[in-house]
A and B are shown apart, each in its own frame.
Chain A
């Protein structure tokens, strides 16, 4: 082959490798887009929305089974979805029921033991927690069993610490999504969504095991312990 045609063949081979690499990288970058669970479909304006979520110590639905994870119950099918991006209607009261299957730890910063941003600035706790039951506004995670996770939405000023299960409790959840028959606590609270926008939420208990300061892994990955509230009109 002449020099020119050899160069042309090489150039085409290069371009093919480059295109392949490009698509691989784009796939891995854009691939894991979080699925959104929609609470606005079929929602009548002025009516409150009920949302059921749970936090599990393990999960069977990802490549990292040891990562703690939220699940949300789909309003359409009732199935537990592994998603942390939830779409809510604006200016609506949201009644949240949160099942906590994970064990309780001390909070790194006790500030996050205070309930803020909910209706009445309180939450209702029940279940086999060793902590305080009933209407709670501050959890002292050093003296009680402690908090398992918090649901904090900085843009709404919302912070709800979920009391957790005793580390020595029997019948703990070992597969996520967890079954209701395993030991858990129940926290109920309500808040009102503001105008449309995208509001991030996160947790303030560092549960990223084997990472420095515990804020890696699940804590820093959408779909596990952090997500978005998409408030739409």
Chain B
């Protein structure tokens, strides 16, 4: 495909010389987080006033002492104000006014202020995502500690029943909602252009917008506690969601914003991977991590709109008396369940697939062997993505759906375990006669494989309808998804972080602390979540603050393990802060001796990624292959690309 190369234009006014930096105003005079906050406050006040103006007289507002319309509009306009204050719409304004606007997609090296503003450099956005995701993860984890504190005793209560449900909802939503971009954000956005040999992303403004929606969603979700939280858990089932107080609006708006962020991020990655691959980067040479980002982006683009639609309908049900989900007026609670899970099941694969990508990417580097079954692995990712749209009713087996549908969805759910199992095929094949190095990233990758196997096999149990009749809605399901998502995705995230932080920042994390973190996290993770399988089958439903007395010993074991797991995450935090703020041990170059294209440039990469667009010569996994070509030629002869484009009109 031919790409029209736009000349890079400097901003006017600002720098006039090509060597000038594009912008010369001081950091506090340029749009950034501080102006964004100002915009958010102004926007919220305006939206709240508008909601009261429209709906203040509604009798439901008067009688119930709450005006949901004011809250929803306040949040929506607050978010618009936040984005406007950040300067997201400035380029659009210049474009509409016919003024030139910068196309510079790389920030010059150095400086911290760029991490706090709207930037077109995908590397800066990646770091922004990384810090954001760590903060969101830790916040969700604190809520989890509160849950386990309450569950220490079935009879004496630390939190009231309403507060407990608030905490459960906040924990679940924080994790499922915010962490859906935990890999695609920090690693996908940062590394995808580097891995495909591109200097930029296809839609840098969309990418940055996708990031800046996440702090807004985070704050809005947390603000639910000011209103007494939301009582539905992260699934938001109607019509409890229509019955709930104001906190529900915060959940709906926050999750809707994250859905929009997911859609935008997905568009960007798809276009970048299709259109911006360097010459020689054939589909068969694409790193498996890029394949996972590619498939995940399709899932996001196709599934998240359904979520946004479902929440939009719940908002109108709560504010302006539509009847989508209210049975009394002819609505259907099933409609919500189906809309939610139509998104919800691809969502869990949005969470799981990037984990697969990371560990499959890391394994060849530390086994020093080519990735076994690369094509099968990539095909497996597509298989999972496609099949994930055909299995959602397995969340509804006992709900009273048409009984004929259940064998069908049992079959599709069982089938999806085949492509999911391909990661084990690739791992086991790569291990054969390898030279395994147990570095910290490799340890986390191995932990991921161990945990995900337990999680995945328990999923096969759940796909069997009679077994699901015992396990549905119980702690068995809780154990299943914590094993797959936390044991799978978060361990893979840690692996990716330890592996790629030298690339992204030029600093390496402390290895000793990393090993301590791995072993404590692995042991306490399993000790926390393995007993939950038994707890669920013995009759403990989800989201309960009381349980049968004979289950107390097991619950106490789990709670203490969970506190220790929290301790291991604290070790992680200490390691990150110590290594990046205080110790700052430099690690430039290629410490893991990886053949990946991203490692062939300096760490951190130069501002434009590559001085010249490289020509890719071979795949990234050719370890131990005799006479393998180097992965790319970073200094192709000048005019090579231009002449090739001119002569053929299409890229090879």
Residues in A lying within 8 Å of B, measured CB to CB: 3-4, 6-8, 10-11, 18, 21-22, 25, 28-30, 32-34, 63-67, 197-198, 200, 208-213, 215-217, 220-222
Flag if B157 contacts A6 (CB, 8 Å): no
Bound form: Cα–Cα A41–B435 in Å: 74
Contact check: which of A66, A209, A216 meets B245 at CB < 8 Å?
A: A216
Most interface-central of A7, A28, A65, A215 (chain B CB within 10 A): A28
- Given A33-B160, A220-B231, A222-B161, A11–B239 Cβ distance below 8 Å? no
Within 8 A of A (CB), among B54-76: 59-66
Flag if A220 contacts B155 (CB, 8 Å): no
Sort chain B's interface into a size bin: 35 or more
A10 / chain B contacts, CB cutoff of 8 Å: 112
Flag if B112 contacts A6 (CB, 8 Å): yes
Bound form: Cα–Cα A3–B581 in Å: 9
A65 / chain B contacts, CB cutoff of 8 Å: 65
B406 within 8 A of A: no
Most interface-central of B222, B225, B242, B243 (chain A CB within 10 A): B243
Measured CB to CB, the closest approach of chain A to B175, in angstroms, equals: 16
Partner-contacting stretch, out of B162-170, B473-481, B489-497, B523-531: B162-170
Instruction: Give me the 7 closest cross-chain CB pairs, A-B, nearest first.
Output: A210-B64, A210-B60, A212-B242, A212-B243, A216-B243, A209-B63, A64-B65
B601 within 8 A of A: no
Flag if A28 contacts B225 (CB, 8 Å): yes
B5 within 8 A of A: no
B244 / chain A contacts, CB cutoff of 8 Å: 211, 216
Bound form: Cα–Cα A63–B65 in Å: 9
- Given A4-B584, A222-B161, A212–B326 Cβ distance below 8 Å? yes
Within 8 A of A (CB), among B304-341: 326, 328
B226 within 8 A of A: yes
B163 / chain A contacts, CB cutoff of 8 Å: 29-30, 32
Not counting A66-B63, A216-B243, a sample of 6 additional A-B residue pairs whose C-beta atoms are within 8 angstroms of each other reads: A4-B582, A11-B577, A28-B226, A209-B64, A212-B242, A221-B162
Measured CB to CB, the closest approach of chain B to A231, in angstroms, equals: 11
Closest to B62 in A: A66
Closest to B135 in A: A18
Flag if A67 contacts B65 (CB, 8 Å): yes
Task: Supply 10 A–B pairs (Cβ within 8 Å), ascending by A.
Answer: A4-B581, A11-B577, A22-B142, A25-B225, A65-B65, A209-B63, A210-B59, A211-B243, A217-B64, A222-B162
Bound form: Cα–Cα A29–B244 in Å: 17
B580 within 8 A of A: yes
- Given A7-B112, A198-B155, A222-B160, A29–B225 Cβ distance below 8 Å? yes
Flag if B243 contacts A29 (CB, 8 Å): no
B228 within 8 A of A: yes
Measured CB to CB, the closest approach of chain A to B315, in angstroms, equals: 14
Bound form: Cα–Cα A166–B501 in Å: 72
A64 / chain B contacts, CB cutoff of 8 Å: 65-66
Measured CB to CB, the closest approach of chain B to A131, in angstroms, equals: 25
B156 within 8 A of A: yes
Bound form: Cα–Cα A11–B112 in Å: 12
Contact check: which of A8, A28, A210, A211 meets B61 at CB < 8 Å?
A: A210
Closest to A28 in B: B225
A34 / chain B contacts, CB cutoff of 8 Å: 160
Bound form: Cα–Cα A222–B162 in Å: 8
B159 within 8 A of A: yes
A18 / chain B contacts, CB cutoff of 8 Å: 135
- Given A65-B65, A66-B63, A222-B161, A217–B225 Cβ distance below 8 Å? no
Flag if B581 contacts A213 (CB, 8 Å): no
Measured CB to CB, the closest approach of chain A to B51, in angstroms, equals: 15
Closest to B318 in A: A212
Residues 154-197 of B, flagged 1 when their CB comes within 8 A of A and 0 if not, give: 01110111110011000000000000000000000000000000
Within 8 A of A (CB), among B277-309: none
Residues 578-590 of B, flagged 1 when their CB comes within 8 A of A and 0 if not, give: 0011101000000
Bound form: Cα–Cα A137–B429 in Å: 75
Residues 216-230 of B, flagged 1 when their CB comes within 8 A of A and 0 if not, give: 000000100110110
